[in-house]
Amino acid sequence: MWREVVEKFERFPSQKKVVELLLERGFQVSSEGKVASGGIKIPHTQIAKEIGVDRRVVDMTVKRILKEPELKKIFENIRSIAFLTDIAPLLGLTVIIIHPADAKKRGILGEVATVIAKRGFSIRQAVSDDPYLVDNPKLTIITDKNIPGELIAEIGRIKSVKGVQIHQ
């Protein structure tokens, strides 16, 4: 689905950058043409500055989103999440980053979660990059406690896993 959304902007590279940022950050577009995160409005100038485009590009992108019913529905309802990866160590949690052999393959999360659960660890959060939005997608899993080396090795032996990193 995301690929179809982004493809609608292929002929407009600057607008495509805006759409990619909105999707990556989970920013909404209100029916009034404002970009927001929940109820917090984000100035179009700030978005433009972040991605290196003119503010008018953001304005045009938002107008285009609101003109297409499918895009309007998506961007009015998208939500961001609190991603714990950067603060996990401060909370006593462990971050496992899985680099898949093929991120478009089905079942990677299930295979990894099964191995972790069989060893008695709880998954507090699992976030998978969308392979249609990210060049090198990864699966980030945050567990409730430190992961032993044997478990990391076991995860690394899963066929769909190319590599594993750990941050404690």
User: Are 97 and 46 in a shared domain?
Assistant: no
User: Are 57 and 103 in a shared domain?
Assistant: no
| pTM: predicted TM-score of the whole model, two decimal places | 0.78
> Is a pLDDT exceeding 80 seen at residue 6?
no
CB atoms within 10 A of CB 20: 17
Structure tokens at 88: 């996990």
pLDDT of residue 57: 98
User: Are 66 and 100 in a shared domain?
Assistant: no
Number of domains in the chain: 2
User: Are 92 and 163 in a shared domain?
Assistant: yes
User: Are 28 and 67 in a shared domain?
Assistant: yes
pLDDT of residue 104: 87
Tell me how far apart the alpha carbons of residues 2 and 20 are, in angstroms, rounded to a whole number. Answer: 9
User: Can you give the residue range of the structural domain that contains 69?
Assistant: 8-77
Q: What is the CATH number of the domain that holds 131?
A: 3.30.70.260
Q: What is the pLDDT of residues 50-105, one digit of tens each?
A: 999 999 999 999 999 999 999 999 999 999 889 999 999 999 999 999 999 999 89
User: Are 69 and 109 in a shared domain?
Assistant: no
CA angle 20, 112, 83 (to 5 degrees): 40
Q: Does 145 fall in a domain?
A: yes
